[in-house]
Structure 1
Amino acid sequence: MADDPRPHTVATRPATAAAGWQPPEHEVEPAYQPVQINRTDGSWSVGRINAWWRPGGGAQAWCRVRALGRGEAPAWMPFDPEHLLLLPAGGI
């Protein structure tokens, strides 16, 4: 069997998360972080980050976000402070 000249790499994260994509469960950190979500139409909604995934090598962190009161399923997305505004989790 001849050696395959193509490099063998494993993607640590997709360029864009397809619907239903999830990182390896053992690498996911549970969280409870309220956020405001800046939607593509320019509106804002309240939501919550309920998990973080930080791939190695200094790659961008991803978070699982759920918009509250909209009936939407949680979705993984790269953390972008221009689209996700972190809110205080509690207290002063």
Structure 2
Amino acid sequence: MATRCGLLSRDCPPPEAEVRWVYQPVEVQYPDDTWVLGRISGWWTDAAGEVWCRLRTLPGGDGPRWCHYDPESVRLLPSAGI
């Protein structure tokens, strides 16, 4: 998705003032149907209304990256007690 400096990427994040920073534990499904733990540290909605999240998978996954939020492959987990 485009931002003011081009495509949304690690080197070109969305405008800081438009990001809602959070700490949200998640489970992420990979194409091979395995699930791994991760966390979302930011939410952003682009001009077209698409929701993006700053996602990092654990342990030892890639660093945080902006990706389109897909509730089918990224499950939000409770961040406080159940």
Please report the TM-score for the alignment, with normalisation by the length of structure 2.
0.80
User: Structure 1, unaligned stretches of length 5 or more?
Assistant: 1-10
- Tell me how far apart the structure 2 counterparts of residues 71 and 78 of structure 1 sit (CA, whole Å): 18
Q: C-alpha separation between the residues in 1 aligned to 2:47 and 2:81?
A: 32
TM-score for both structures, normalised by structure 1: 0.73
RMSD: 2.1
User: Structure 1 stretches (4+) deviating beyond 6 angstroms?
Assistant: none
The alignment covers a number of residue pairs equal to 79
What is the CA-CA distance between 1:32 and the residue it aligns to?
A: 0.7
Uncovered stretches (5+) of structure 2, i.e. residues with no partner = none
Aligned partner of 1:87: which letter? Answer: L
- The structure where strand makes up a greater share of residues is 2
Cα distance in 2 for partners of 1:36, 1:44 equals: 6
Alignment of 1:46-65 (within 5 A): 46-56=37-47, 59-65=49-55
Q: Within 5 Å, which residues of 2 pair with 1:1-92?
A: 11=2, 17-18=8-9, 20-56=11-47, 59-92=49-82
- 1:6-58 per-position Cα deviation (integer Å, ceiling 9, x unaligned): xxxxx459xx744534111111110111000011222110000000002245x
